[in-house]
């Protein structure tokens, strides 16, 4: 911080010095020039070379001739700012374009992660030789303490974190070779702070429905609204929006007029409409009220019966019904298995489980 602020101070001072210098020079030229013009006109008048009107004319003109020079100085400053900004823009434009995949995900949607390591800055290793397999239709959970690399792994799956080593395949196809469209069509991500846009509830929900379907729906608006209400019913929001203006209820930017739990439930509704085969939930129920959490978890368990669900959660009580649980620690998988199996291993999972159970049951006996 100290080094950076010292650097910033020096640069600011340099800019100020330059600006002050250029202003001084410009002022000297502008006012000096005007003064010179006035003196010249006065001496010429005295010598009788110009008339009184001519002299006045030159005096007035000389000020108007030199003063714009000052403006040139400030334009110079603006131009310099523009140059610096365009340098940045060109730097961005010159970045190498990411290689785009050409393949699409087809029937088989088994996800296999083999020997995957990842680092954001090339120095600190965040993931370390992670191996994971999620079969089509399986319900898999990833747990571990904060900062162990769970979201980083989700980012890799979503094609956001590129440049990993090892292989990640979906249906036998390398992730890097799959088109972005196909990836987004097949995998739906729900984070802990889902983005809702300014507009009506209907607008926001329709975003979840792929374009083709939206077209057919636009021809039958009533059936469309019915689908939307059904999904709102599932996440227990129908009641609330009926009390407002229904599907026409206006949402502020980032749905500021809804509670955190309502936001997440609406985001889940939108994700349900997307009807992809794979869902990745990254702490989708953190920092929200218990009722919302229960509503969301009920839907997730229901969804897990037919879809592939990868759930990242710090709350172990939610992951108990998973088909398989991976426990991560410092970028590595340290334990895996069903809840019954790993809770009896007296390892990290058992430790986390006991701590959380003690916390959640705290005081229950005494009440
Ligand atoms: N965009 C990023 N740039 C650099 N480091 C990051 C970035 N995102 C996360 N990290 C680091 O990676 C580690 C794992 O983060 P994350 O995957 O978000 O953990 P988790 O989701 O398990 O809590 C953390 O130490 C974090 O500081
Ligand atoms: Mg995370």
Which residue, 164, 273, 253, is CA-closest to 209? 273
* Nearest atom, ligand 1, residue 155 CA: 17
Pocket test for ligand 1, best of 126, 155, 193, 333 (most atoms within 8 A of CB): 126
Same domain, 87 and 139: no
**Residue 183 and residue 219: Cα distance in Å, rounded?**
28
Residue 216's pLDDT band, with cuts at 50, 70 and 90, is low
Same domain, 87 and 122: no
In sign, the C-alpha dihedral spanning 335, 339, 345, 347 is: positive
Cα 276 to ligand 2 centre (Å) = 22
Average pLDDT of the segment spanning 213-221: 68
* Nearest atom, ligand 1, residue 328 CA: 22
What's the domain count of the chain? 2
Residue 166's pLDDT band, with cuts at 50, 70 and 90, is very high
Average pLDDT of the segment spanning 323-352: 95
Same domain, 198 and 313: yes
Say yes or no to pLDDT of 141 above 60.
Answer: yes
DSSP 336: E
Same domain, 74 and 132: no
Q: Say what the pTM is.
A: 0.76
Residue 259 lies in a domain: yes
Domain containing residue 241: CATH number: 3.40.50.300
Residue 218's pLDDT band, with cuts at 50, 70 and 90, is low
Residue 366's pLDDT band, with cuts at 50, 70 and 90, is low
Say yes or no to pLDDT of 66 above 80.
Answer: no
Q: Are 251 and 196 in contact, with CB atoms under 8 Å apart?
A: yes
Cα 195 to ligand 1 centre (Å) = 20
Same domain, 71 and 124: no
**Residue 126 and residue 112: Cα distance in Å, rounded?**
19
Encode pLDDT of 69-125 as tens digits.
778 777 888 898 999 999 999 999 998 887 788 888 888 889 999 999 999 998 999
Cα 155 to ligand 2 centre (Å) = 10
Same domain, 76 and 170: no
Which residue's CA is the closest to the ligand 1 atom numbered 17?
A: 149
Which residue's CA is the closest to the ligand 1 atom numbered 21?
A: 151
Ligand nearest to the CA of 147: 1
The distance in angstroms from the start CA to the end CA of the chain is 51
* Nearest atom, ligand 1, residue 282 CA: 21
Range of the domain at 131: 111-360
Residue 145 lies in a domain: yes
Same domain, 64 and 186: no
Domain boundary among 41, 58, 93: 93
Cα 151 to ligand 1 centre (Å) = 7
Residue 328 lies in a domain: yes
Looking at residue 266, its pLDDT comes to 94
Cα 336 to ligand 1 centre (Å) = 22
Looking at residue 234, its pLDDT comes to 92
Same domain, 349 and 244: yes
Residue 105 lies in a domain: no
Residue 104 lies in a domain: no
Cα 154 to ligand 1 centre (Å) = 11
Same domain, 69 and 147: no
Same domain, 208 and 331: yes
> Of 230 and 100, which is predicted with more confidence?
230
Looking at residue 346, its pLDDT comes to 87
Task: Report the greatest alpha carbon distance in the chain.
Answer: 113
Residue 8 lies in a domain: yes
Same domain, 32 and 175: no
Residue 33 lies in a domain: yes
Question: In Å, how far are 96, 232, 273, 322 from 242, measured between CA atoms?
Answer: 50, 10, 19, 34
Residue 100 lies in a domain: no
Average pLDDT of the segment spanning 216-220: 68
Domain boundary among 64, 93, 122: 93
Q: Which residues on adjacent β-strands are paired with residue 190? A: 281
**Residue 325 and residue 83: Cα distance in Å, rounded?**
54
Which residue's CA is the closest to the ligand 1 atom numbered 7?
A: 120
Percent of the chain residues past pLDDT 70, beyond the cut: 97
List, chain by chain if needed, residues with CB within 6 Å of any ligand 1 atom: 120, 126, 144, 146-152
| 67-71, 81-85, 128-132, 153-157: least confidently modelled range | 67-71
| 62-66, 286-290, 328-332: least confidently modelled range | 62-66
Cα 306 to ligand 2 centre (Å) = 25
Please give the structure tokens belonging to residue 322: 């998973």
Looking at residue 194, its pLDDT comes to 87
Residue 213's pLDDT band, with cuts at 50, 70 and 90, is low
Which residue's CA is the closest to the ligand 1 atom numbered 18?
A: 151
Same domain, 51 and 80: yes
Please give the structure tokens belonging to residue 49: 């070379």
Pocket test for ligand 1, best of 144, 151, 326 (most atoms within 8 A of CB): 151
**Residue 88 and residue 344: Cα distance in Å, rounded?**
56
3-state secondary structure of 236: coil
Which residue, 352, 207, 348, 193, is CA-closest to 282? 193
Which residue's CA is the closest to the ligand 1 atom numbered 20?
A: 147
């Amino acid at each position: 911080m100290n080094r950076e602020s010292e650097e910033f101070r020096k640069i600011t001072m340099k800019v100020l010095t330059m600006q002050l210098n250029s202003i001084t020079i410009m002022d000297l030229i502008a006012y000096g020039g005007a003064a010179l013009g006035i003196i010249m006109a006065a001496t010429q008048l005295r010598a009788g070379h110009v008339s009184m009107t001519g002299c006045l004319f030159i005096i007035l003109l000389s000020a108007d001739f030199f003063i714009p020079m000052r403006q040139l100085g400030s334009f110079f400053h603006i131009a310099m700012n523009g140059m610096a900004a365009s340098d940045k823009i060109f730097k961005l434009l010159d970045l190498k374009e990411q290689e785009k995949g050409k393949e699409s995900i087809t029937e088989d949607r088994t996800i296999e992660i083999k020997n995957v390591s990842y680092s954001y800055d090339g120095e600190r290793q965040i993931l370390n030789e992670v191996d994971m397999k999620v079969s089509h239709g399986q319900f898999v959970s990833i747990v571990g303490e904060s900062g162990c690399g769970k979201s980083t792994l989700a980012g890799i799956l979503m094609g956001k974190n590129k440049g990993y080593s090892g292989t990640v395949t979906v249906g036998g196809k390398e992730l890097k070779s799959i088109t972005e469209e196909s990836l987004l069509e097949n995998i739906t991500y729900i984070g802990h702070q889902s983005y809702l846009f300014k507009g009506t509830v209907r607008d926001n929900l329709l975003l979840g429905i792929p374009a083709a379907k939206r077209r057919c729906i636009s021809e039958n608006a009533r059936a469309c609204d019915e689908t939307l209400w059904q999904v709102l019913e599932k996440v227990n929001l129908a009641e609330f929006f009926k009390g407002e203006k229904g599907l026409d209820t206006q949402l502020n930017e980032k749905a500021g007029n809804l509670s955190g739990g309502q936001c997440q439930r609406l985001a889940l509704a939108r994700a349900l409409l997307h009807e992809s085969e794979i869902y990745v939930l990254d702490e989708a129920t953190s920092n929200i009220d218990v009722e919302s959490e229960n509503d969301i978890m009920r839907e997730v368990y229901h969804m897990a019966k037919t879809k592939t669900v990868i759930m990242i959660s710090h709350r172990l009580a939610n992951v108990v019904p998973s088909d398989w649980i991976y426990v991560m620690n410092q970028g590595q998988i340290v334990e895996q298995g069903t809840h019954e199996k790993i809770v009896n291993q007296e390892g990290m999972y058992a430790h986390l489980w006991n701590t959380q159970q003690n916390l959640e049951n705290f005081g229950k006996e005494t009440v």
